[in-house]
């Protein structure tokens, strides 16, 4: 019997819906992507009129957050010129290391996937991603 690799579709869709709700509350137009524990896409939504370039960025943020099990912005703090991870973005077919991607954990604290959000300021992107991740128990 095939099974999900970490996060289920039902959980991923709940994360997307919670993120879209937060996006509408704060008046942004977002792209929202959720990947599983293997960094494979599980659910995605592009709000009408959201930046087209953020379709790819939201997916790369989700994968980056799962690849390293931390918020994407934490990596960006280390990948600056002179930083210990300078230009890590060249790996894995392209990483995005500014805020907007966060791991998704289950009730036991295990990482089961990640969410990536792109479409506004990085602060807003992060806020919306957090709202999405919080919807998964």
Report in angstroms how near the CB of residue 39 gets to a copy of itself at its nearest: 6
Report in angstroms how near the CB of residue 134 gets to a copy of itself at its nearest: 21
How many other CB atoms are there within 10 angstroms of residue 32's CB atom? 34
If binding is defined by CB under 8 A, does position 46 make contact with a copy of itself? yes
C-beta of 26 vs 40, nearer to a copy of itself: 40
Give alpha helix (H) positions in 1-137: 9-26, 53-68, 72-76, 122-134
Of 23, 97, 120, 127, the residue at the interface with a copy of itself (CB under 8 A) is 97
If binding is defined by CB under 8 A, does position 24 make contact with a copy of itself? no
C-alpha to C-alpha distance for 125 and 86, rounded to whole angstroms: 23
Going by C-alpha positions, the residue among 93, 45, 42, 43 that lies closest to residue 67 is: 93
If binding is defined by CB under 8 A, does position 72 make contact with a copy of itself? no
The burial class, CB within 10 Å (0-12 / 13-18 / 19+), for 35 is buried
Q: CA torsion, points 122, 129, 32, 37, in degrees to nearest 10?
A: 120
If binding is defined by CB under 8 A, does position 47 make contact with a copy of itself? yes
Number of residues that bind a copy of itself (CB under 8 A): 64
Binding site for a copy of itself (CB under 8 A): 1-6, 8-9, 12-13, 29, 36-57, 60, 63-64, 66-69, 76, 79-82, 84-98, 110-111, 121-122
């Amino acid at each position: 019997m095939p099974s999900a690799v970490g996060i289920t579709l039902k959980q991923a869709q709940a994360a997307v819906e919670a993120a879209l709700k937060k996006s509408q509350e704060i008046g942004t137009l977002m792209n929202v992507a959720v990947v599983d524990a293997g960094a494979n896409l599980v659910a995605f939504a592009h709000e009408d009129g959201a930046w087209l370039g953020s379709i790819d960025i939201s997916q790369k943020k989700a994968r980056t957050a799962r690849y390293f099990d931390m918020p994407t912005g934490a990596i960006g703090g280390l990948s600056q010129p002179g930083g210990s991870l300078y230009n890590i973005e060249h790996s894995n077919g392209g990483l995005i290391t500014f805020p907007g991607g966060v791991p998704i954990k289950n009730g036991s604290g295990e990482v089961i996937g990640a969410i990536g959000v792109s479409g506004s300021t990085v602060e807003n992107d992060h806020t919306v991603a957090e709202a999405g991740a919080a919807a998964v128990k």
